[in-house]
Structure 1
Amino acid sequence: MDLVLFYFLILGFAVLMYVLLDGFDLGVGILYPWFDQTGERDHLMRSISHVWDGNETWLVFGGVVLFAAFPAAYAGILSTFYLPIILMLFALIFRGVAFEYRFKADRSRPYWDFAFSAGSATAAFCQGLILGSIVQGVNANHIPLDSWYWLSPFAILTGFSVMAGYALLGASYLYMKSRGRIQQHAAHLAKRLLLGVMVAMLIVSLWTVLSSDDIRERWFAGGNFLYLSPLPLLSALFAVLAWKGLSDTVHEIRPFWYVAGIFTLGFAGLVVSLFPYLIPNQLTIWDAAAPDSSLTFLVVGIVIFIPLILAYTLWGYRVFAGKVEDYQEGY
């Protein structure tokens, strides 16, 4: 296999793992204000206390792969989206600090609650902004340093769409991990969010197709749509199954997997639309790739670290499988 294509697949895998895993714990933070009792908020915090920091490993790993394997894309993306990226990182840091301090605080707990929720929402929104701006197309060489190009209507729409999507992941995760009133409330929120996310996906997809001749041709030229139609059709099917699953208290894990499937199919649609570009219409994966000698050297680290990260992730979720128990020391 072409080494450049191999690293593109590794980068895509890292991004997808981050979105699915850190997406649900960011989603729990976004939903935080909709659970108003102290005991419920304690429960939400405990539900992600053992995974939130490990989930962010995939963001770091993806950044390392982008920097090492595709340095030209790394430089272009970071220089263009400097402000939203810095804001996202500060939000993630602030969220992590709030997470740890909240358990120790007494009188200041409401402030840390706000910091946790605001940090989660801000990080998710910034990720959506960056995604929307990349899909829309950027030219780092012709954008002034003080430009707010990334704050376009389309990027704002994708920012709120990602927030809603993460909240849906979080609600389906809480449905899987909780009991009683919290589970019922999570199901209620998840159904509303599911409708909103599907509508947002439809609007974003139509906007993208109508605003880009290349993407429209990719999907509809010749008989392409016949081959690509399983992506939207399966997304709709998973949405229906997730809706039904949110009323099933026997197979409580299924809604989360259906929602994860919707995200995976959406990610596949994004790859189909943009490949082989990392920066649309400017920089392909081969243009952005590091020299072959560097890519060959990096294979050793990839082969070592991906199995380690996967093993740690699987072990952690296996150890803490099951419902969250509301003990003071955790579960």
Structure 2
Amino acid sequence: MGMEFWLPAIWAAVIGVAVSLYVILDGFDLGIGILFPFTKDESERDQMMNSVAPFWDGNETWLILGGGGLFVAFPAAYAVIMPALYLPVLLMLLALVFRGVAFEFRWIAKPDHRFWDAAFAGGSALAAFSQGLILGGLLDGITVTDGRFSGGPLDWLSPFSILCGCAMVAGYALLGATWLNMRVAGHLEAKARGWAKGLLVAVLVFMVAVSLWTPLLYERIAERWFTLPNLFYLAPVPILTLLCALMVWTGLEKDQPASPFVGTVGMFLLGFAGLAISNFPYLVPPSLTVWDTAGAPESQVFMLIGVVALLPLILAYTAFMYWTFRGRVRAGEGYH
């Protein structure tokens, strides 16, 4: 096996890491926006936004790496996925832009900022829901003929993709609630624990629904999970997910600051691992694999050199930011 085999596999891993980091890091600050309507208290809303103020724009770096990596390393997949999912991708990008503008303008518009509050909450919820639609549309399968997208503009819209959209909103809200439990002090901390308990139940219901829906609809996924010896090899994934959920609940009950957030991150990563197990090596289910859609090895090597050089710097900067702004945010404190 030469470079033609290993380069696409390496790039699939790079994109997988980038998407995972985006979902975790941008997920909790999108979750803050989704939770915004749950409190009407002005100081608590300020406290929520200040808990993510130093991080939110940097968190979106990973979305750029994931999308750019797909364009460079798998151009054939990019050329199929984008027209197939154009509308939800456009909705997601517009929501992220509008949300970012609202984040900055809300402070400038004080005290008359109700429009920007609504924009921040609505943009966050729409971005999360659109990402779920993209995921559901991809898992549902894309119609491909001769290596090109040959379906309709609304093929992505289905009961399953809507379920995935709702699941993503609930999941990001859980990340946001457990983040607040860890990073804020005072009355809002207690509220966040209450939100997180209800959201944990909702997320578990959505995870069970998706886990049952996919093998029932797609024989290839059922074969991957429920045939021997795969059943024994893959059993740790749902078991560890339940243990992470128990970690979240126990941490909330015992007023522990970090363990609910860590457990939620674990649930997300295990869910992502389950999706990867269900679909690999298909990058465009159910027809195109990572090797079918790989770009020229020269392009992959050229860009991989840049990733190897820059990725440690991005990770170091990210770690430095989170370390510098560690600790809890109290009412009246902030970075604006």
The alignment-based identity, stated in percent, is: 49
Q: Deviations over 1:244-266 (max 9, x none)?
A: 101233x4111100100000000
Equivalent pairs, count = 328
1:65 is the counterpart of 2:73: no
Q: 1:286 — aligned with what?
A: 291
1:107: Cα distance to partner? 4.9
Let me know the Cα RMSD of the aligned residues: 1.2
Structure 2 Cα separation of the partners of residues 187 and 8 of structure 1: 36
1:26-105 residue pairs with structure 2 within 5 A?
Answer: 26-105=30-109
Amino acid at match of 1:79: P
* Alignment TM-score, normalising by the size of structure 2: 0.95
Q: 1:125 — aligned with what?
A: 129
Q: Out of 132, 142, 151, which is 1:143 matched to?
A: 151
Amino acid at match of 1:155: S
Structure 2 Cα separation of the partners of residues 208 and 119 of structure 1: 29
Structure 1 Cα separation of the partners of residues 156 and 112 of structure 2: 35
SS of the aligned residue for 1:278 comes to: strand
Q: Which moved more, 1:174-183 or 1:188-197?
A: 174-183
Q: 2:171 — aligned with what?
A: 165
8 Å contact from structure 2 (residues 93, 127) kept in 1: yes
Q: 1:208 — aligned with what?
A: 214
SS of the aligned residue for 1:203 comes to: helix
Structure 2 Cα separation of the partners of residues 138 and 326 of structure 1: 48
1:253 is the counterpart of 2:258: yes
Q: 2:308 — aligned with what?
A: 303
1:325: Cα distance to partner? 3.2
- Structure 2, unaligned stretches of length 5 or more? none
- Distance change >3 Å, CA 186–CA 329, structure 1 → 2: closer
8 Å contact from structure 2 (residues 7, 300) kept in 1: yes
Amino acid at match of 1:127: Q
SS of the aligned residue for 2:109 comes to: coil
1:166: Cα distance to partner? 0.3
Q: Deviations over 1:215-258 (max 9, x none)?
A: 00000112211110100001001101110101233x41111001
Amino acid at match of 2:109: A
Amino acid at match of 1:100: E
1:191 is the counterpart of 2:201: no
Structure 2 Cα separation of the partners of residues 311 and 326 of structure 1: 30
Amino acid at match of 1:24: F
- Structure 1, unaligned stretches of length 5 or more? none
8 Å contact from structure 2 (residues 30, 176) kept in 1: yes
Q: Out of 266, 272, 281, which is 1:276 matched to?
A: 281
Amino acid at match of 1:29: G
1:225 is the counterpart of 2:239: no
Structure 2 Cα separation of the partners of residues 252 and 329 of structure 1: 20
Structure 2 Cα separation of the partners of residues 189 and 327 of structure 1: 22
8 Å contact from structure 2 (residues 26, 60) kept in 1: yes
- Distance change >3 Å, CA 68–CA 3, structure 1 → 2: same
Q: Which moved more, 1:176-185 or 1:11-20?
A: 176-185
